[in-house]
Amino acid sequence: MRAYVTWILLALPLAGSVVLWAALFRRRRSELERVVRVFAAVLATAAPLYACGTFAYVSFVAPEPAFDYSFEHWGLLIALAGVVAGFIRDWPSRWYSWLAIGSSAWILILFFLASLTY
């Protein structure tokens, strides 16, 4: 797979995180569960940031050693935590909460597929 395709696949959830933070900032006064929503947004932003940082490190600094899947395992854990954080209190009622869950789920799928490679 070409590098620009990977950057696009990783940048889409990152762009979704920017929209998520803008919507959360716009509704900060009317939001009832601010701490839970901000926690879910932080984890939903951490997963694509970690994915982009990891891919940049592997592409430009040093390749990942053979049979060392520590990057993928940490990415799986961060993304899974983002998905779980979206469902902490209740079924999400806001569209930007679903955006956070979708962003983390997308990164979770990408890290899962990356961890299956040999």
* Total length of the chain: 118
pTM: 0.85
Q: What is the pLDDT of residue 4?
A: 81
Rounded alpha-carbon distances, angstroms, from residue 82 to 4, 11, 56, 99: 25, 17, 21, 11
Say how far apart CA 109 and CA 111 lie, in whole Å.
6
Residue 71: the pLDDT is 87
Element (DSSP H or E) covering residue 40: helix 34-56
pLDDT digit string (tens) for the chain, length 118 residues: 677 888 888 889 999 999 999 988 888 887 777 788 888 889 889 999 999 998 899 888 888 777 788 888 999 999 999 999 888 877 777 888 888 889 999 999 999 998 887 6
Q: What is the pLDDT of residue 50?
A: 93
Nearest to 12, CA basis, from 106, 77, 79, 113: 106
